[in-house]
Amino acid sequence: MASAFKKVAETERNHRATLYFGNLDSQVTEVLMYELFIQFAPIRSLNMPKDRVLKTHQGFGFVEFRSVEDADYVMDILRGIRLYGKTLKLKKTDLLKSGKGTS
């Protein structure tokens, strides 16, 4: 799992196997999200962008799995789950891309 937290080049990322996750409580960490997602599939990469000054995450991140099937399963099984009382938001990033380019 040594590669899980390396920054993945945008061109190498499989967008169809990548999920955006958001609405995170400030207590949520990358390690916690790694532990949650690995319950359902092996993880290729995971990152939560940090504020440059404060070094805190900004309430969202991205996780890439090995396959589209893994990503779809994670979307299904975690629908409505709450972390520290906040409902986790999950979206396919290929849909974000084809939308208004919010990724």
Where along the sequence are the contacts to other proteins (CB under 8 A)?
A: 1-2, 4-5, 25, 27-28, 30-32, 34-36, 38-42, 65-67, 69-70, 73, 76-78, 81-85
The rounded Cα 74 to chain-centroid distance in angstroms is 10
Judged by CB, which is closer to other proteins: 35, or 99?
Answer: 35
Tell me whether residue 36 or residue 96 sits nearer to other proteins (CB atom). Answer: 36
**CA pair distance 56, 52, nearest whole angstrom:** 8
DSSP codes of every residue in 68-82: HHHHHHHHHHTTT-E
We find the least distance from the C-beta atom of residue 96 to other proteins, in angstroms, to be: 23
> Which C-beta is closer to other proteins: that of 35 or that of 97?
35
